[in-house]
Each structure stands twice: as C-alpha cells, then as structure tokens.
Amino acid sequence: MSGLQHIACDLCDLLIAAPTIEVGQCALCPRCKHKISRLRPNAFVSLFAYAVTGLVLLVLANSFGLMQFKLAGNVAQITLWQSASELYFDAYKILSVLVFLFTIFFPALVLLMIIMFLITIKTGIGKFYMTSLLRLIFTLIPWSMAEVFIVGIIVSLVKLVTIAQMHLGWSFWAYTAFAFCYLKVLSLVDRYQFWHWIEGWQHD
C-alpha cells in the first residue's frame, strides 16, 4: 500500500498509518478486526486466468441443455437462457429480466470488466474509463448470484425427481465450473490492490 500515508477502516472508520504488507499477508483493522486488504500471490495472473476461464465456461453453459424432464412419454428440455426467458410474459417480464441479470448478465459483466481493467493496467489502453469501470465492478458484485442459482437448480431437480425422470445437462456442469471461477475472481478482488496497480502504472 505504498503511496498512501493513512488508511481508514471501512466498517469502523479507525484511522491507521498505512501498513506495508507483503504478498500473502492481509491487513486487519486493529479495532474491529475487519479484513481491510489482502495481497494474494500472483493476483494479477490468477485474476486474468480465472476471469477468462469463467467467461469461456459461461459461453459453454449457454450452448448445451441445462436440464431434461421426462414424464409419461413427454420430454422437455431447457437451456440456461430459457430458465430466464420463459418467464417473459404477462406481468412477469420484470422477474424474467431480474433472473437474467442476476444469473447471467451481471456475473458475465463483472468478469468482462475485470479483464478490461487488467488489460488497461498492462497496456494503458482505455485509461479514460478506468475509474468508472472500477466503480461499476464494485456496484455489481452484490447483485451477481451465480452460486445461489446453482442451489436453485438443485432444489428444482429434487422437487421433480419424485414425479419424473430428471437429467442434468452439460450446461449445468459448465455453469457450476463457471460459478467456481467467478467466486475465485471475487476472492482476488481487492480495492487497495487495484488502486496500487493503477498508481504504479501512472508513475511509468
């Protein structure tokens, strides 16, 4: 955290002299024990790798069937996209849009913006939108619910398994792997680290 003289805890506002922390260490607030910052080893490379992998997996998750349902000769199959789009009728358009945003669009956008951010840090392309990009990333993080959606799929599977033959498609496994990558990315996101990279690049 070089360059800063003081930092304050987000949760209790205690003013502290900015500590120098090594890779692999984290800074805890001495008063409320809140984890203020954590420097992960190889954060840059890992972030890039997990974000790209996550996006590829999300594309794959959209290319196969999510779930199949067989009952008395009737077969129904849905894709990931349909789990949100089929709700799009009558008064339920808003729910359909929300499901799409929370499960596909926001997580994808967060990953994409992180990749854009890392590219800007490395190459300097797109400096002008950097600040807005970062603010948008942190605004969208609470609204991406990939892991919650997986539990939703499992619950609906269990609900139907007593009355019909159920089959999970490749899309489900791709989506699960995507959610894992997404959570890995989130664990590597750190405001102080990000601004440290930006300032390092500004001095060049």
Binding site for another protein (CB under 8 A): 4-15, 30-32, 34, 37, 66-67, 69, 71-72, 74, 76, 78, 82-87, 91-92, 94-96, 98-99, 102-103, 131, 134-135, 138, 142-143, 145, 148-149, 151-156, 158-160, 162, 191-192, 195
Cα 124 to chain center, whole Å? Answer: 24
As a whole number of angstroms, the distance between CA 114 and CA 28 comes to 25
Minimum Å distance from CB 40 to another protein? 17
As a whole number of angstroms, the distance between CA 133 and CA 131 comes to 5
Q: Which is nearer to another protein, 56 or 133 (CB)?
A: 133
Instruction: Tell me the pairing of strands 26-28 and 6-8.
Output: unpaired
What separation in angstroms does the CA of 174 have from each of 60, 62, 101, 121?
Answer: 6, 9, 18, 29
Q: Which is nearer to another protein, 46 or 96 (CB)?
A: 96
Minimum Å distance from CB 148 to another protein? 5
Counting every residue written for the chain, the total comes to 204
Minimum Å distance from CB 127 to another protein? 13
Q: Which is nearer to another protein, 62 or 82 (CB)?
A: 82
As a whole number of angstroms, the distance between CA 158 and CA 155 comes to 5
Q: Which is nearer to another protein, 89 or 125 (CB)?
A: 89
As a whole number of angstroms, the distance between CA 52 and CA 182 comes to 10
Minimum Å distance from CB 119 to another protein? 19
Q: Which is nearer to another protein, 52 or 147 (CB)?
A: 147
